Amino acid sequence: MPVRRVIMDESAIRRALTRIAHEIVERNKGIEGCVLVGIRTRGVYMARRVAEWIRQIEGVPVPVGELDITDYRDDRPPGAARSPAEAALTALPDIHDKNVILFDDVLYTGRTIRAAMDALMDFGRPKTIQLAVLVDRGHRELPIRPDFVGKNTPTSRLEKIEVALREIDGEDRVTILQPSPVRDRKAEERGISR
């Protein structure tokens, strides 16, 4: 059984998203011309929370959109059909010539972000695309670097990061799952480690 360790609790997540909101405002010299876009599912809730913090900081609302990248993933079988419900999962404000801040919960290989950028380009031509992530766990396979990071957490490839947000999971928590220190003897005999 994997060992679970909480690396961010509710207050740590709140502080990280508040800091990201301030950094976005500072980097963009305000919020004019900015659009926040969350990658479904948890990225959407992160973008909404940061938009609320920005509204409190700047006194003006910032547009928030939702992006479904299902059709753009490189691990999706060619020609795989989507249901009508899936097709309606993207809802974006105008992103043409805007500073788009893209939100995702965990940055790992970079393939999700590549897919998200491909999807965004089908909806318009942003002035810039900036990336905000709650957790950067390393192991990049593509040359993608976040602009705003809640927490850098170097991991092994055997570890997993689980993000829970209250809007869908009932609580705020980031957990790292480490492989069990006890090895499966049969798996070892077959030359497979857990």
Going residue by residue through the chain (194 aa), what tens digit of pLDDT does each one get? 889 999 999 999 999 999 999 999 999 999 999 999 999 999 999 999 999 999 999 999 999 999 999 999 877 666 665 555 555 579 999 999 999 999 999 999 999 999 999 999 999 999 999 999 999 999 999 999 999 999 999 999 999 999 999 999 999 999 999 988 765 444 555 555 44
Helix, strand, or coil here: 31? coil
11-26+33-72+87-156 belongs to which CATH class?
alpha beta
In this structure, which amino acid lies at residue 64?
V
Q: Mind listing the pLDDT tens digit for each residue in 78-93?
A: 666 555 555 557 999 9
> Using CB atoms within 10 A of its CB, is residue 22 exposed (0-12), middle (13-18) or buried (19+)?
middle
**Structural contact between residues 20 and 132, judged by C-beta atoms closer than 8 angstroms:** yes
**Structural contact between residues 97 and 129, judged by C-beta atoms closer than 8 angstroms:** no
Q: What is the chain's length?
A: 194
Evaluate the CA torsion angle 10, 13, 17, 20 in order and state its sign. Answer: positive
Residues 6+ apart with CB under 8 A from 80: none
Helices 10-27 and 42-58, interaxial angle, to 10°? 60
Q: Where are the domains of the chain?
A: 11-26+33-72+87-156
Judge if pTM exceeds 0.85: yes
* Block residue for tokens 């939100």: 103
**CA–CA separation, 84 and 86 (whole Å):** 5
Omega of the bond leading into 109 within 30 degrees of 0 (cis): no
For residue 27, what are the CA distances in angstroms to 24, 59, 70, 98? 5, 17, 30, 14
Helix, strand, or coil here: 160? strand
Q: Mind listing the pLDDT tens digit for each residue in 102-136?
A: 999 999 999 999 999 999 999 999 999 999 999 99
